[in-house]
Amino acid sequence: MKGQQQLKKSKVVKIDSRKSWEHHITNATNKGYPVMVHFSAYWCMPSITMNPFFEELASTYQSVLFLNVDVDEVKEVASKLEIKAIPTFLLMNRGALVDKTVGANPDELRKRINCSIHQTHSPKSV
């Protein structure tokens, strides 16, 4: 059982291009996975300090795809989603924005993903 849990362990995917972004978002949308995105920059200390926490969330929430986007490397995506401050965390479901958190606040981020995931996994009529 422990080996299976390690195989399923989620990790943060680094997005390095618009094409990579579109691929992961499309794939998650098609499979019905929520997506949590950390918009960061290598020079932003609050972003850097949030990285281990974001990795921890990725390990905790197995049914969520976690993406990391450097706003300097993938400017087109950051601009399209109107990212004006970093770190910014977006929670998306079925390709649509569900929640946005600006700033390095681990407790708030955990609370928001918890609420959103429980709403996402509640029964809905199709």
In order of their start, the domains of the chain are 13-120 (3.40.30.10)
Helix (H, G, I), strand (E, B) or coil at 35: strand
Span 54-98, pLDDT tens digits:
999 999 998 899 999 999 999 999 999 999 999 999 999 988 999
Strand 12-15, strand 65-70: pairing: parallel
| Alpha carbon distance 121, 119 (integer Å) | 6
Q: Identify the residue whose tokens are 């920059």.
A: 41
| Alpha carbon distance 84, 55 (integer Å) | 23
8-29: burial string, b at 16+ Cβ within 10 Å, e else: eebebbebeeeebbeebbeebb
Percent of the chain with pLDDT over 90: 73
Residues 79, 52, 115, 34: is their CA dihedral positive or negative? positive
Residue 40 scores a pLDDT above 50: yes
* Mean per-residue pLDDT, 27-40: 94
| Alpha carbon distance 84, 107 (integer Å) | 22
| Alpha carbon distance 7, 13 (integer Å) | 16
Task: Say what the pLDDT of residue 62 is.
Answer: 84
